[in-house]
Amino acid sequence: MNITEDKAYRWLQYQGYKDIVFRARLTPDFIVEGGRSFEVKLARNNTIFITKTQYDQLSQTAGELTLLVFSSEGNNPTAIIPFNEIRERPKFWNNIRIIGQHPHRYIGQFDDSLIDKLTNEATRFGLNINAMANFIISKYFEDKPKSTKAEPARVKYTGRG
């Protein structure tokens, strides 16, 4: 059980559920008495990721299904989303952005020529490649970069030795 799932487990206990079944590596994450199910999501920049596979599994879940969205801070959900409200795959639910594919999957598909181009552009603007990767990811989330200075990389390219 990861930290976010542990928060959800404790929150479900606080809500009075007694029979809480945690399903490691399965969707949904928790099933409680009465057939209610809960999928746990960690929001980053008010964004959650639901892959097509997860979405299909959630769509086939019997009974009442709820998404519990947590931030990295705090022990209570920042959003409690009834799955039937996002069944049609909206891009937003209130202030939560819903994305069907995690952007880091595409990062791993960079080839050497693209990395060379990005490295040249980063150098031209006085950035290193890690800061450039952070900039690209922040643009993907439609946020302004927090800093143009080099920071520890959130992603690393491992295509070259």
Express each pLDDT in 24-67 by its tens digit.
Answer: 888 899 999 888 999 999 988 888 888 888 888 888 888 899 99
- Relative to beta strand 37-42, strand 65-70 is parallel
Does 92 share its domain with 142?
no
pLDDT at 154 over 60: no
99, 127, 145 - which closes a domain: 99
Contact 98, 69 (CB under 8 A): no
Does 95 share its domain with 111?
no
Contact 30, 62 (CB under 8 A): no
Higher per-residue confidence, 89 vs 65:
65
Tokens 């594919």 — which residue? Answer: 101
Kindly report the CATH number assigned to the domain that includes residue 53: 3.40.1350.10
Count of domains in the chain? Answer: 2
pLDDT at 4: 92
Does 85 share its domain with 113?
no
Does 145 share its domain with 110?
yes
Phi-psi category of 45—alpha, beta or left, where left has phi over 0 and alpha has psi -120 to 50?
Answer: left
99, 118, 141 - which closes a domain: 99
pLDDT at 148 over 80: no
pLDDT at 152: 42
Tell me, what DSSP letter sits at residue 44?
B
Does 14 share its domain with 65?
yes
List the domain range (segments joined by +) for residue 116.
Answer: 103-161
47, 67, 99 - which closes a domain: 99
Does 95 share its domain with 114?
no
Higher per-residue confidence, 61 vs 12:
12
Grouping H, G, I as helix, E, B as strand and the rest as coil, residue 41 is: strand
Contact 89, 100 (CB under 8 A): yes
Does 87 share its domain with 141?
no
Higher per-residue confidence, 40 vs 114:
40
